[in-house]
Structure 1
């Protein structure tokens, strides 16, 4: 198994454990999602939650992946309403990282909002 896929599978499981029912979506973006990564690339993830959560919840996952795989994770934690607002208001920063994504986990929220935006 490819190392990146191994890391992603482990991160998904750890996010499910830490966030539980609050986890809505995990979206891979950036160079890895676009297939343009190199040996210095980090893994960029948007973690969408139903209710607001503290981003410190993900700190242990970041540290564990760095120690185990020597890979840096950039994880952005956002609530569903924030994601919807960013799509509706065409936030340039938000749109720059959601174009060319790979949805790893979704309860139909992110893809629905994404396709509404594209149409």
Structure 2
């Protein structure tokens, strides 16, 4: 399997995940975004399928939240096993939050606004969250930079000593 074929296969599984999640969670599902190496088209044989999931109502605690998504993962287990037989050991890594939690800034958003693929977005919720952050970054004059393979943000190039930057 070529790198391109691998990335396509992983992206297709992520798209199926979004479809199944919509069936399983119904109106509780707000948004799903694919991010990380699969979204960038840089996945390798041991890359995870990174998903950011927003729901209206969630139990407290990550274990309970992941339990809520177990039926989704079970329905896609065959897809993952098919890849495992080909030497691709991918699995899902899910970041799960409520709408209220998603409205608060998260550092991962700095990567996601540039590279994430929104797979499901009821009412444009996640698009709006990302656009709000993009607007704030423009106001600050923030710049996305690269040093070799490392990508980073210079959030306020003209920062003065003692000045505080809020996102």
Q: Out of 57-66 and 11-20, give the one that drifted further.
A: 57-66
Match of 1:42 in 2: 48
Assess, with a 3 A threshold, how the Cα gap between structure 1 residues 78 and 97 changes in structure 2: closer, same or farther: farther
Distance 1:103 1:51 in 2: 20
Offset, 1:63:
4.3
RMSD over equivalenced CA pairs, Å: 2.1
Assess, with a 3 A threshold, how the Cα gap between structure 1 residues 115 and 83 changes in structure 2: closer, same or farther: same
Offset, 1:68:
3.2
Q: Which secondary structure does the structure 2 equivalent of 1:75 belong to?
A: strand
Structure with greater contact order relative to length (CA < 8 Å, sep ≥ 6): 1
Offset, 1:67:
4.2
**1:66 touches 1:72 (CA, 8 Å); kept in 2?**
no
**2:109 touches 2:130 (CA, 8 Å); kept in 1?**
no
Q: Which secondary structure does the structure 2 equivalent of 1:28 belong to?
A: strand
Q: Of residues 66, 74, 87 in structure 1, which corresponds to 2:93? A: 74
Offset, 1:49:
0.8
Between the two proteins, the alignment pairs up a number of residues equal to 114
Q: Of residues 1, 13, 16 in structure 2, which corresponds to 1:10? A: 16
Offset, 1:7:
1.2
Match of 2:69 in 1: 58
Offset, 1:61:
2.6
Which structure's CA Rg is the greater one? Answer: 2
TM-score, scaled relative to structure 1:
0.81
Distance 2:44 2:111 in 1: 18
